Amino acid sequence: MEGLRPGDPSAIAGYRLLGRLGAGGMGVVYLGRTDSGELAAVKVTLSDQSDDPDFRARFRREVEAARRVSSPWAVPVAAADPDAPEPWLATAFVPGPSLAEAVAAHGPLPPRGARILGAAVARALAAVHAAGLVHRDVKPGNVLLALDGPRLIDFGIARPADGTALTAADMVVGTPGFLAPEQAEARGSEIGPPSDVFALACLLAYAVTGRLPFGRGAVDALLYRTVHDDPDLGGVDDGLAELLTACLAKDPGRRPTAAEVAERLAEDTPPGGTAWLPPEVVRTIAERSARMLALPDIEPTHAGEPEPAPRPVARRRALLAGGGTLLAAGAGAALWAVLRDEGDASAGAPPRRKKWAIGVQADLSGPQKELGIEQERGARLAVEAFNTRPDRPFSLHLAAADDAGDETRALAAARRLADDREVAAVLGSTGDYTTQAVLPVYEEAALPLMTVSAGLNLLTSKPSRSFMQACPGHPETAAQLAYVLQNFYRQLKRPVARPGVLQDRTDDQYAWQYAAMINHMLGSRYGHRTHPRVVPASVGDYARVVREMVDAGIDAYVHAGGAGSAAQAARALRAAGFDGPLLAGPRVLGREFLELAGDAADGWVVGAPVADPSRKPAAKPFAAAYRKRYGRAPGHYAGESFDAISMMIGQLVRTVRDGGTPGRGALADSVRRGRYKGIMGEYRFKPERGQLDGLGTCLYVAEGGRFRYLADAPAEDPGRLRKA
């Protein structure tokens, strides 16, 4: 909860407003309290929307819908006034986290807990359907966990089951990943109670496994899979999987009703008490409940009240950080005054620590261990270099956590690092999906997290206070590779006219982003008639698909997928006698592709957001130190990891030397607002979401069982690539 803003009211009807719970497209949700001490969530519409008759009608419909639902597992309406100048709605306040928050921070629920959750939500949906309504947005964010059981909330897009609606007939309403096929295809007349049952099954699969049954990624791809693919229920026990399979039937008429689901999930013990929840979730509920009980009265606010003056901040000095690199002061200097966890020395904080830790969460034993080990080594060398400085204000050690590229292990690793109060910042994770899984954990802990290899654009799709993506996103890398294909080969008198693009869905989010950008650039931007192919994860015979592409007349081949399928494609292309350009993205850069493809790997050009330290003069001392420590030249991402750790160490030192006590609140913001000149290049970030501001893709060519640096991928002048 955040405090009230100067323009917020201090009271609405009989509710004294204590703070903001959130804001969205309809308006602002406040925490309110009655004179008798009861808490409520008070939703108030935005003033510029209340004059819209359609909007007011939708709000009135929400109130009517919520009032018609009677269930102990649905949050009841306490009061409402749809006809007020700014319509408002008050519901009972549930202090617990949402299911989405709980799973992200603490992992999936135990099987029994998931069944009790499912039974309660199914009963709530049965009440919704008995009232003649369809919820249409059943998702983890709309299920709150309380000490006495879960609660279904948010009837904002519920509608009568007879199909009457105020939205367009072809509008997709709801949350992708939890939409039934009839919702995904906007088949309005078919949307009904079975659609909610489908969404409930998706929610339960997520609660048990932490995964969505139809995956994640771009909306179009996700909706396509929902309509056409079978669900992934791996990790769900047989009994529950059988029920979920029935609920996820493509034909709405074949799904059980919500009441039937509740009956099949019924337990001997009703969902009272907390035995059905993991202890970590129970602690979160208890802590939030205690904070609500301790809330003080809030003085009334008035529109136009001035913002409080910022606290004075000492003048900041520039710091010459380890490795001979300069970290310039950024625009966020005022944020150094108070770091959330330890406070300010002037406010009576404990003495400054003499020892801190930098965390590294990486894949050290899984499918991307080649990259993860290099990242851990680069980070370790940065910490060791700092500890040799005679003027260091504290000592550092490295706290390494191996997530093995597994999302469940990644959550456990993130929680261990977040709970370690010596850890000031974290490098990680190696992979896209492990990074996506752990973001809520680090966000909740306000612990800075920087990745040098996870390039999904979904990681930066929302504002963040802790995350930094120190590499270009996959769509940016793909756009540069398309530019290379368009211009470089034209200079070599091999202009491309019919490029083939294969999207391998075994790595679906990455492959979708990469293929979509390649097809867009080559087709819409450069006017080529691409020959795209999408290969489902269940297809193991890439040779047949590749032969079809060659027979169709492709004159270049771009692979959007992982190393394993790229190796199969390379062998098939070699067998077919294809001699056109062969290109791929960062998933292919590594020993796995070279070993699996053999001689067929030769000539492949790979674009990846990683530089070669041997080509960077500033990296020579680092490369020498790496060779001395590990007996060989540094591998991919070691240098970038050294830079990432050096950035965060530099800001820790700045805080201590300026009299502050390092904490977790402002470190990420300070790094994002500065500019850093490292051994591998210059870094600067877009402060709101933590994206790298600028491109940094390099090209490598496979030759004789290794990848040789070719050139930095050109943004404008491809002439220098030809010279390389």
For residue 455, the 8-state DSSP code is -
Known catalytic residue: 432?
Answer: no
Spatial neighbors of 412 by CB under 8 A, at least 6 apart, are 107, 403
For residue 659, the 8-state DSSP code is T
Helix (H) or strand (E) holding 608: strand 605-608
Q: In what order do the strands lie in the sheet with 467-469?
A: 319-321, 325-327, 675-677, 682-686, 691-692, 467-469, 449-451, 423-428, 355-362, 395-402
614, β-bridge pairs: none
Q: Decide the pairing of beta strands 15-23 and 11-12.
A: antiparallel
Helices (H) and strands (E) in the chain, counts: 21, 27
451, β-bridge pairs: 469
C-alpha distances out from residue 503 to 115, 378, 611, Å: 37, 32, 26
The catalytically annotated residue of 52, 54, 137, 658 is 137
Task: Put residue 580 in one of left, alpha, beta given phi > 0 → left and psi -120 to 50 → alpha.
Answer: beta
| Burial call 305-330: b when 16+ CB within 10 Å, e when fewer | eeeeeeeeeeebeebebbbebebebb
Tokens for 270? 């009703």
Nearest to 466 by CA among 444, 485, 486, 433: 444
Query: Phi, psi (5° rounding) for residue 228?
Result: -115, -25
Q: What percent of the chain is helix, strand and coil (3-state, nearest 5)? A: 40, 20, 40
33, β-bridge pairs: 16, 39
Task: Put residue 291 in one of left, alpha, beta given phi > 0 → left and psi -120 to 50 → alpha.
Answer: alpha
Q: What string of H, E and C letters represents the secondary structure of 309-375?
A: CCCCCCCCCCEEECCCEEECCCCCHHHHCCCCCCCCHHHCCCCCCCEEEEEEEECCCCCCHHHHHHH
Q: Which residues participate in catalysis according to the annotation?
A: 137
